[in-house]
Amino acid sequence: MVSGQGRVLELAVLGSLHETPLHGYELRKRLNALLGMFRAFSYGSLYPCLRSLLAQGLIAEEQPAPSTIVGGRSKIVYKLTAEGKERLQDMLTQAGPSAWEDESFGVHFAFFRHTEAEVRLRILEGRRSRLEERLDSVRTALARTRERLDSYTLELQRHGLESVEREVRWLNELIATERRASSEERPERDTTSTDE
Amino acid sequence: MVSGQGRVLELAVLGSLHETPLHGYELRKRLNALLGMFRAFSYGSLYPCLRSLLAQGLIAEEQPAPSTIVGGRSKIVYKLTAEGKERLQDMLTQAGPSAWEDESFGVHFAFFRHTEAEVRLRILEGRRSRLEERLDSVRTALARTRERLDSYTLELQRHGLESVEREVRWLNELIATERRASSEERPERDTTSTDE
DNA sequence: CTCAAGATGTATCGGCTCGATACATCGACG
DNA sequence: CGTCGATGTATCGAGCCGATACATCTTGAG
């Protein structure tokens, strides 16, 4: 059970460090700029995560040229190791069902540029069906408990349903785009050309 | 520090039990029907919460008429005590800054029918400014790091911003409605009537 | 009738995560 | 010169979740 169930943080950190080495404070700022609309990254989880990644040998401290340290305040810059890059690729290609939960999906999406087209499609579709399950479940539960709900509860339900439906539409567009791109990229069986 | 920082669950349970006594399993179903669009309630937090509320004397077990038990399977029905009702009212009227966080806002909103108009407005406005802070923070951080973002990241940002902006518009409508209702209800100082 | 499957129901454990907080240095500004 | 806010690393308590175990009731196919 040491694998990667809820370790979205690890993915987020490895993904960020893949671009450029960073220290904790800056890393947190980048993550919050990138994904702050969906979740917040806190020191209480970030620093333990860095320590864990360090212990696993997936990241390493990078010390600047000794002459430069003079006036610098103490900061610990981390960079990806070769193992870390491997691990990142693994996480990006394996992308299990946890990838389409609320907390994980955004992180996976943020690194789609490093993800294979096939996996991208799988994640988008998984996320979509996850949301549709939720819609079904809430709708049927709501239909059963239709006993006079007050106007506030109704408004909350309406807003919630609309938000989720909106995300489903967004996913539909993305999926269509992905499909179109992948069929253009490999037009092997386009004998029937302009179908659907 | 025993107070109610992150104890949204307690509020959700007390609020649900205010309507009608319930046992754990059914309580969870109701909560997930009511708020499943925003968060999921699990046994791992629900049962400890019930035990804690019981220990605090805010809820109590309600045993059915002994004659009815015969064929019934063992279930523990909880009801609000007088102290529980008091506590619920306290939580609904105090409604600190934690009430406009993501996890809490929906729960508070779901029980607006038991909340005073003044507090409703405070929560709605607090939530709105919380979201606007988030928009500002992400927007400026994004402007500073405008270094060539790939199309996926841009799309994610666009979708995220739009979602939050949409919720802000929703809040604006709700706030306007609340203000209208409260000014109709007490039209004492409408001498200047249609002012800003 | 029988037995398996699935809904109902209570309960716990390990582990992740968060908010608050503590401490220290640096730059800017009056 | 002092102090305020940003930068920076680090930890602690507490809450919460997913998975899981276990037991009973209902349903319905064979």
pLDDT in tens, B125-149: 999 999 998 898 888 887 776 667 8
Contacts of B196 (CB under 8 A, 6+ apart): none
Task: Collect all residues of chain B within an 8 Å Cβ-Cβ radius of residue A134.
Answer: 36-37
Q: Looking at the predicted structure, is the pLDDT value of residue A79 above 80?
A: yes
Residues forming beta bridges with residue B79, ordered by sequence position: B60
CB atoms within 10 A of CB B137: 15
Residue A9 binned pLDDT confidence (cut-offs 50, 70, 90):
very high
Distance between CA atoms of residues A8 and A10, nearest Å: 5
Per-residue pLDDT, averaged over A116-121, amounts to 92
Residue A6 binned pLDDT confidence (cut-offs 50, 70, 90):
low
Distance from CA of A191 to the nearest CA of B (A): 31
| A178 neighbors B152 (Cβ within 8 angstroms) | no
* Predicted model pTM: 0.86
Query: Is the CB of B160 within 7 Å of strand D?
Result: no
Task: Provide the pLDDT for residue B172.
Answer: 97
Of B110, B138, B145, Cβ closest to residue A37: B138
| A84 neighbors A45 (Cβ within 8 angstroms) | no
Chosen from B121, B159, B161, B170 to mutate, greatest number of chain A CBs within 10 A: B159
Strand C nucleotides, any atom under 7 Å from protein beta carbons: they are 8-21, 25-27
How many helices (H) and strands (E) are present in chain A, helices listed first?
7, 3
